[in-house]
Amino acid sequence: MNDESIYDFVGMGIGPFNLGLASLTHSIDELNGIFFDQADQFNWHPGMMMQDTTLQIPFMADLVTLADPTSPFSFLNFLKNEGRIYSFYIRENFLVLRHEYNRYCQWVISQLSNVHFCNQVVDVKYDNDHQWYVVNVRHTKTGEHREVKARKLVLGTGTSPYVPACCENIMDRATHSAHYLDNKKDLQQKKSITVLGSGQSAAEIYYDLLQDIDHYGYELNWITRSPRFFPLEYSKLTLEMTSPEYVDYFFNLPPAKRDDLISNQKHLYKGINSTLIGDIFDLLYNKRLLADIKVGLRTNAELREVAYDASLDYFNLELYQHEQEKAFLHKTEGLVLATGYGYKQPKFIDGLKDQIQWDHKGRYDVNRNYTIDKRGADIFVQNAELHTHGFVTPDLGMACYRNSYIIKEITGREYYSVERKIAFQQFEVSEEEAVSNFELA
């Protein structure tokens, strides 16, 4: 089946970022876009949707508010429609519960007619004669194919669970944090459980398992290669780095400097909520008062190798303590890898590789306007520009800014204000300030 419409753009993937784009373009009558996702429905990180877990950003960082506070797709309007806006106000906690955010996104989707789940983008080709893209889409339930033509593309396929190379052959036995809730009951039947990782997901899982430790009697360990269990830095002047100015500053740095910065800025976007760190300590203290629990927390320990012993039903982990420069072994029956997520280039772009610009590491060479094609005008990316635009890339709080920017680039018109400067501080040395030979007067 062929769709004879010529769309202004096709959005591939329907996570929060492309869903925000769909919401913001809904009211632009002259802009015709369509979105596809191979999943059956929107379900954001279901494996980590524990009852009390929250996003690490306030409700204003929803799909639309920071671009259009009057949008009908705002989180506050969702609360109003559900009859809970006063309860949320009285609650006095502006961090959104994760399962509530998921419901909010599903509520928005229910009002959009151009977002289509169960639709897998198979391949994309460029038609030079007509100067449009031909997108081949397969319905995952019926197997039916359709062709969609569009002037521009927005890639929002998201990230995938990252598994260290040494763990790839044991993932039929181990659990990635993305699937934690699916495997929680089985894990709690083990005599020992080890959580590997240093970020928010590792902390949430450790805290969740710690609550039932005296009931099930398992040993619970948390191991990370980080030098400490570091909190997410959330001071106000640091938050100014989630700004257009810092994106400009970071983008204009040499690639090697950008890579070095990203590797040293994990506390800015991969740290643990400081309240949760306190809750873990308090729960450890209380549990130990009431029972002889077996718990362990270890830093500076990097996983080097892992093997599963089927006869004894346990994992044997070879770890390395960096500061002491010593290797050691750790045995555990249950293993949870809270090792984060990484971007994987979707298979369907294979037919466009000659049109895309690449850096020397085989990554997208992303332009400042979030395009990756050689013309710098056609193929946009969402959450694939960490190495070019900095640690704000996966931040939901900057999604409205990026979407406003992309809409401006697609239409040539600034439908939503694209902020240039919001920070009190200055990150760069201007050309006027720079001196070649510094001498004190």
Q: Which tens digit of pLDDT belongs to each residue from 210-237?
A: 999 999 999 999 999 999 999 999 899 9
Integer Cα distance of 327 and 5 in angstroms: 62
Amino acid identity for residue 43 in this structure:
N
pLDDT tens-digit profile of 163-216? 999 999 999 999 999 999 999 999 999 999 999 999 999 999 999 999 999 999
Rounded Cα gap, residues 322 and 309, in angstroms: 26
Bridge-based pairing of strands 33-36 and 115-116 is parallel
- Average pLDDT of the residues in 338-348: 95
Packing angle of the helix pair 399-411, 16-25 (nearest 10 deg): 50
Question: 148: pLDDT confidence band, cut at 50, 70 and 90?
Answer: very high
Residues contacting residue 410 through CB under 8 Å, at least 6 positions apart: 8, 9, 31, 152, 380
State which H helix or E strand residue 360 sits in. none
Residue % of the chain over a pLDDT of 90: 94
Helix (H) or strand (E) holding 377: none
**In the prediction, which pLDDT does 431 show?**
87
Backbone angles phi, psi at 145, to 5 degrees: -105, 150
Q: What is the pLDDT of residue 3?
A: 63
Q: Do domains 2-160+342-411 and 163-232+270-337 have the same CATH topology?
A: yes
pLDDT at 1 over 60: no
Confidence of residue 359 (pLDDT cuts 50, 70, 90): very high
Q: What is the pTM of this model?
A: 0.95
| Residue range 111-144, pLDDT digits in tens | 999 999 999 999 999 999 999 999 999 999 999 9
Predicted pLDDT at 109 = 99
* Residue 439: predicted pLDDT: 65
- Give one DSSP letter per residue of 8-74, joined into a string: EEEEE--SHHHHHHHHHHTT-TT--EEEE-SSSS--SSGGG--TT-EEEEETTSSSSTTT-TT-TTS
- Please tell me the predicted confidence (pLDDT) of residue 91: 94
Count the neighbouring beta carbons within 10 Å of the beta carbon of residue 437. Answer: 4
For residue 126, what are the CA distances in angstroms to 92, 351, 406?
Answer: 51, 8, 20
What are the backbone dihedrals phi and psi of residue 391, each rounded to the nearest 5 degrees, phi first? -65, -15
- pLDDT digits over 94-109, tens only? 999 999 999 999 999 9
Tell me how far CA of residue 308 lies from CA of 162, 330, 331, 440, in angstroms: 19, 12, 10, 64
CA 37 to chain centre: 17
d(CA 149, CA 162): 33
| Sign of the CA dihedral with 58 first, then 60, 66, and 72 last | positive
Predicted confidence band of residue 2 (pLDDT cuts 50, 70, 90): low
Chain-centre distance of CA 50, in angstroms? Answer: 17
Give SS3 for 266. Answer: helix
Tokens of 373: 């094609």
Mean pLDDT of the chain: 96
Cα atoms in the 13 Å half-sphere on the side-chain side of 342: 8
Instruction: Label residue 99 exposed, middle or buried (CB < 10 Å: 0-12, 13-18, 19+).
Output: middle
CATH of domain 163-232+270-337: 3.50.50.60
Q: Show the CA angle centred on residue 15, arms to residues 11 and 20, nearest 5°.
A: 70
Structure-derived torsion over alpha carbons of residues 403, 409, 414, 420, reported in degrees to the nearest 10: 70
87 vs 92: CA distance, rounded Å: 9
Task: Break the chain into its structural domains and give their ranges.
Answer: 2-160+342-411, 163-232+270-337
Percent pLDDT > 70 in the chain is 98
Look at 69-83, 272-286, 346-360, 426-440 and tell me which has the smallest mean pLDDT.
426-440
Q: Say yes or no to pLDDT of 4 above 80.
A: no
Q: Looking at domain 2-160+342-411, which CATH architecture does it have?
A: 3-Layer(bba) Sandwich (3.50)
